[in-house]
Structure 1
């Protein structure tokens, strides 16, 4: 797969049903409930970048937040559209590197490690600038990542997942490029058929992501180690970064 693996609809058609199943949708409901408790803010227009089939957009909308759900995959957004017909969800097929809506949102979410797909560091900077421009004064940015600290503690050279229907997913992750990217090889064994894919994404430590956000106009309000608001430390499950644009004086 080329460097733009996230634009390949065949990837999402093959692996999406495993990634976005009933269990992950149920966890999405719980994650949003916890995040809204952490944020303690009234419903505001919300931008969900990398929204996929809506595992976070849908519970946000059901909680009264008008959501703009953005993704590049028509396949995933079609699934979201089928589920969101009676909810305040605007579906946008667009690239987060290109999308800006000036001061339109009180909350921007990038969940489930959807920030970090790009190989070019300038693309990550561009997304941060777009998010800053799209947030209202006092708005909040939430990045949900797996931090380098967590990967160093938990990563296995081979991870196997067997599904109820008999399919087997073999994951072979490795930290590369001086531990700045996570390289992934996935093999999906489905009877006599083997689907193989290879992709990578950027990883940051807590200090690195803080510096990156600061350098692109954000103040860090908190970094949590899970959705419940635990401290970010060597036992962290996730890296939940809450930030806001630095207001000009």
Structure 2
């Protein structure tokens, strides 16, 4: 028995080493992926990611497992910058967390998402609570909304960082003028760099720089672009980068709260 226990212990340690190595390799490969794929391919991967994510919503995972309330920073935004009754467009609505909470507070809500599975769950829950939320399946970058029809736009979660390419994010911000009423307000969330610089991230950056010299690499790649399980994300390195990107797009910053990762624009 002592010999068997020794063998089992050794195997367990070996498996642990292999798992850690494979995890590092997994992170490295996804880290260099945005340098290889153009923005349209990155968006396709993300769409598949969300389709798969919402397949389990409401079926394998009970709805009671999800939070249906606003986060602290969202409550703060409502108090300081928004006021009902008004029409608010939620982009990247998912299961409808923000949309339902906003409807309960007296807003007329248009909830838009590319993944049908999440919208079905949200629509069923809205119906059970008798909340007037309109759910729309569409790509939020195309903005299939009538001109000057909404007073507020909320970009849900980290969706601003999920737009591949600085130029495309800026073009999207400019296009919002068509659907917002004069003086309308946009609230967006973004991802900031919180992880420490490691040997793995430094190696990933070196490999990325080499890849960018190859023909056919992604010409829109920026430092801070990464992927996790097929989900693209641009991680903003500092507040100046974000401020410059927004102001160059012609938007006016009303508030930028860097630590909590949100900005209010007009």
Give the alignment's TM-score, normalised by structure 2. 0.65
How far is the alpha carbon of 1:19 from its aligned partner? 11
Residues 27/67 of structure 1: CA separation in 2 closer, same or farther (3 Å cut): closer
Aligned counterpart for 1:124 among listed residues 169, 172, 182 = 169
Q: What's 1:55 paired with?
A: 97
Q: What's 1:111 paired with?
A: 156
How far is the alpha carbon of 1:144 from its aligned partner? 1.5
Instruction: Give CA-to-partner distance per residue, 1:60-91, whole Å, 9 cap, x none.
Output: 01000001100000001001110112212111
The 3-state SS of whatever aligns with 1:218 is coil
Aligned counterpart for 1:83 among listed residues 119, 125, 134 = 125
Q: What's 1:228 paired with?
A: none
How far is the alpha carbon of 1:134 from its aligned partner? 1.2
Q: What's 1:239 paired with?
A: 261
* Aligned ranges 1:155-234 → 2 under 5 Å: 179-184=223-228, 197-204=229-236, 205-224=238-257, 232=258
How far is the alpha carbon of 1:12 from its aligned partner? 1.7
Any stretches of 5+ residues in structure 1 without a counterpart?
159-173, 185-196, 225-231, 245-249
Whose helix proportion is higher, 1 or 2? 2
The 3-state SS of whatever aligns with 2:67 is helix
Instruction: Give CA-to-partner distance per residue, 1:103-133, whole Å, 9 cap, x none.
Output: 1111100121012323344432332123222
Whose strand proportion is higher, 1 or 2? 1
Name the stretch that deviates more: 89-98 or 110-119: 110-119
Q: What's 2:137 paired with?
A: 93
Q: Is the 8 A contact 1:125 1:216 kept in 2?
A: yes
Distance 1:239 1:211 in 2: 16
Residues 67/216 of structure 1: CA separation in 2 closer, same or farther (3 Å cut): same
> Which is higher, the Rg of structure 1 or of structure 2?
2
- Report how many aligned residue pairs link the two structures: 203
**What RMSD, in angstroms, separates the aligned Cα atoms of the two structures?**
3.3
Residues 51/179 of structure 1: CA separation in 2 closer, same or farther (3 Å cut): same
Residues 95/10 of structure 1: CA separation in 2 closer, same or farther (3 Å cut): closer
Distance 2:151 2:226 in 1: 31
Residues 50/10 of structure 1: CA separation in 2 closer, same or farther (3 Å cut): closer
Instruction: Give CA-to-partner distance per residue, 1:149-196, whole Å, 9 cap, x none.
Output: xx246x9999xxxxxxxxxxxxxxx88766422332xxxxxxxxxxxx
Runs of 4+ in 1 over 4 A off after TM superposition: 14-24, 155-158, 174-178
Residues 198/156 of structure 1: CA separation in 2 closer, same or farther (3 Å cut): farther
Q: Is the 8 A contact 1:105 1:139 kept in 2?
A: yes
Q: What's 1:144 paired with?
A: 189
